[in-house]
Amino acid sequence: MKAEQVSCVIDYPGHVPAAVKKQPLSTRVRLLVIAHEAPLTTIAETTLASDKMLEVTVKQTLPDDLTPFQAAIIGINDEPERHAATLAKIAKALAHIILVPDILTADIARLAVQFKVSDLILSSDIHNGLYPALAIIADNLKQHAKMAESITVVNGKAGSGATFITCGLAELFTQQVDADIALIDADFNFSSLAYGLGLNNRYSINQAVKELDKLDEAAVRTMMSGKNKLHLIGNSPFARLHEDSVTPTQLNSLSWKIRQTYDQVLVDMSKGLESQTLPLLLQSSCILIVMQMSVACLRETKAMLKEMRTLIDFHQCKVAIVVNRYHKDKEEIKLSDIKTVLEVDTLFTISNNFALANQRTELGKPLASVANHKVMASELAHILRFASSLAKPPASSAKAGFLHRLLRRG
């Protein structure tokens, strides 16, 4: 037998770059990174680009238009005098700048003072220092930026009435609050929210995400269908099946832009929990879970809540159960049992009115008249005041809208 050959060569491990120490950011930041080499380029294209609270654009040279950005990181790896003109242009457009030089010299320090940069981090310390600097910028932006609350209405079981509840809350909001509300129809099979509100979708979510980089506040308002203070964006039928269907990342970015444009956002997730629309749920300040009084519905709602708790910190948003089509004297399941089984403390009920709900969904026709039901208007008002910090008690002089069309006397 041949003796086994034993190698005497020692394989030393190669250099492993230090991991960036990430930390949560309080608000989303649209970030421009101007860099030519590692480690800044690598960090920008990997760690920063994968952070859902950052919208990162990496360039080697200064872009002509700086309006899409809120902050900039600039790498300096040669003579600082060459960067003075770039810094001057950025400083005029952006209040938040982070400089990342290879070494700290007196000239670089003077540039930082001259252009009032937010922070100066050596490239050798960027793994430790970058996120604390970004966190300070995010906190500052959050204090001064307009960011609407987002209320998401989601079915615990398909067909429980999320779209109907969304329509009622939207019209009630326009009657009670002097503010603009944006509605996002997150049904990528067949958007029906427009039917209940008497609107036409002239621009779809699929179309909007193709122009994300160009969507400033004026463009966002243009793409929405609306009347008075109510604005809607939905989808073309079966948009989910298109090759260019919206990705979760695109939907996340679009939702942030809408929240920065309007005073309140209301999302209809009638299809329940889906990976494609999950970013809308993660941005919610309030989640309303709609169900009906049946064992099957309770079972599915419980399963959905179990999954949601692995994705969402319920301590960071308000959560409530909305029992739709509730009939107090005919229900075998008690409301207290629902709270116990679902482990949710807040529960609302919407009275059973089959005629109203049937007219709402039949052939997509808007409802013209049904029997008067003031109790339902009051129930929706309670939900709205829980969900939105902008909501006020209903005014007696409210204009006719969805609820009035639904609830007036025949």
Give pLDDT tens digits for 258-281. Answer: 998 999 999 999 888 898 999 999
Which letter does DSSP use for residue 246 in this model?
P
pLDDT score recorded for residue 15: 46
Q: Are 227 and 221 in contact (CB under 8 A)?
A: no
If you average pLDDT over every residue of the chain, what do you get? 85
For residue 216, which phi and psi values (nearest 5 degrees)?
Answer: -90, -175
The residue to which tokens 């690598």 are assigned? 42
**How far is residue 264's CA from residue 30's CA, in Å, rounded to a whole number?**
21
Strand order in the sheet with 119-120: 54-59, 29-34, 71-76, 96-101, 119-120
pLDDT for 290 beyond 50: yes
Confidence of residue 395 (pLDDT cuts 50, 70, 90): low
**Proportion of the chain above pLDDT 70, given as a percent:** 85
pLDDT for 304 beyond 90: yes
Q: Give the three-state DSSP class for 374.
A: helix
How confident is the model over 169-201, as pLDDT tens digits?
A: 998 898 889 999 999 999 888 878 888 888 888
Neighbouring C-alpha atoms within 13 Å toward the C-beta of 68: 20
**How far is residue 367's CA from residue 362's CA, in Å, rounded to a whole number?**
9
How far lies 23's CA from each of 9, 41, 144, 208, in Å?
Answer: 41, 19, 21, 31
* Per-residue tokens: 83: 């960067």
How confident is the model over 22-49, as pLDDT tens digits?
A: 998 888 899 999 998 888 999 999 999 9
Please report the beta strands in 274-360, taking only residues with DSSP state E, as ranges in sequence order.
286-291, 318-326, 347-351
* DSSP states along 175-205: HH-SS-EEEEE--SS---HHHHHT----SBH
Domains of the chain: 29-144 (3.40.50.2300), 149-407 (3.40.50.300)
More confidently predicted of 377 and 30:
30
**How far is residue 332's CA from residue 335's CA, in Å, rounded to a whole number?**
10
Instruction: Tell me whether the omega of the peptide bond preceding residue 248 falls within 30 degrees of 0, making it cis.
Output: no
**How far is residue 257's CA from residue 267's CA, in Å, rounded to a whole number?**
14
Other beta carbons within 10 Å of 194: 20
Average pLDDT score over residue span 296-323: 94
More confidently predicted of 136 and 363:
136
pLDDT score recorded for residue 280: 94
Q: Please tell me the least confidently modeled range out of 93-97, 234-238, 328-332, 383-387.
A: 328-332
pLDDT score recorded for residue 362: 47
Q: Please tell me the least confidently modeled range out of 7-21, 128-142, 239-253, 327-341.
A: 7-21
Q: Give the three-state DSSP class for 62.
A: coil
Confidence of residue 373 (pLDDT cuts 50, 70, 90): low
Q: Are 385 and 348 in contact (CB under 8 A)?
A: no
Average pLDDT score over residue span 370-379: 68
Q: Do strands 264-269 and 149-155 pair parallel, antiparallel, or not at all (unpaired)? A: parallel
Q: Are 286 and 151 in contact (CB under 8 A)?
A: yes
How far lies 257's CA from each of 77, 152, 252, 409, in Å?
Answer: 34, 16, 9, 40
Which letter does DSSP use for residue 234 in this model?
B
pLDDT for 14 beyond 90: no
Number of H helices, E strands in the chain: 15, 13
Average pLDDT score over residue span 92-102: 94
Q: Which residues pair with 149 in a beta bridge?
A: 264
Helix pair angle (162-176, 374-387), 10° resolution: 80
Q: Are 292 and 160 in contact (CB under 8 A)?
A: yes
Q: Are 259 and 283 in contact (CB under 8 A)?
A: yes
Average pLDDT score over residue span 135-139: 93
Average pLDDT score over residue span 126-147: 89
Among residues 156, 175, 155, 177, the alpha carbon closest in space to that of 166 is found at: 155
Q: Please tell me the least confidently modeled range out of 210-219, 225-234, 311-320.
A: 210-219
Among residues 280, 287, 186, the alpha carbon closest in space to that of 233 is found at: 186
C-alpha R_g of the chain:
26
How confident is the model over 340-359, as pLDDT tens digits?
A: 999 999 999 998 876 665 55
pLDDT score recorded for residue 359: 55
Confidence of residue 405 (pLDDT cuts 50, 70, 90): low
**Proportion of the chain above pLDDT 90, given as a percent:** 50
**How far is residue 301's CA from residue 287's CA, in Å, rounded to a whole number?**
13
For residue 218, which phi and psi values (nearest 5 degrees)?
Answer: -65, -40
Q: Are 101 and 77 in contact (CB under 8 A)?
A: yes
How far lies 168's CA from each of 6, 164, 202, 324, in Å?
Answer: 78, 6, 22, 12
